[in-house]
Structures are given as C-alpha cells and as structure tokens.
Amino acid sequence: MKLIVDTDKCQGSGECAKLCPMDAIVITAGKAVINLDKCDLDGICIPACPSQAIHFLEE
C-alpha cells in the first residue's frame, strides 16, 4: 500500500506538508509530492488535504 496524490485535485495548499511528521511531502510546481521513502503511511495527510487529493492505493 502507498499514499498517492491526485494531481488533478491537488491545489497545492501545503496543509498536508505542514502536518507530515516525517517531512515526506513537499509542494513542487504547485502540487503535493510524497517521498515514498520517507512516508510512514500514518495517513495524517489525508484529512489535512482540503481538496481531498490524497488517498491510499493498494498495490
């Protein structure tokens, strides 16, 4: 499982990045980008996203 960002929905508010305790999210070119090597999959970023652009993806 991993967290992904729906770039069509992402507005680049940065709320997800502010709350990520692992510093796994950065805003690049106005969109959130998740560093999967740093992400601990706690999901705290999901409800933080005002545009509901982050969700889990089963692999």
Check which CATH number belongs to the domain holding 10 and give it. 3.30.70.20
Average pLDDT, integer, range 10-25: 97
Note the pLDDT of residue 8.
Answer: 97
pLDDT tens per residue, range 5-16: 999 999 999 999
| Burial call 7-44: b when 16+ CB within 10 Å, e when fewer | eeebebbebbbeebeeebbeeeeebbebeeeebeeeee
Strands, DSSP E only, in 1-59? 2-5, 25-28, 31-34, 54-57
Distance (Å, rounded) from C-alpha 38 to C-alpha 42?
11
Q: Which two tokens stand for residue 23?
A: 């510093």
* Domain interval for residue 25: 2-57
pLDDT tens digits, one per residue of 36-57: 999 999 999 999 999 999 999 9
* Count of domains for the chain: 1
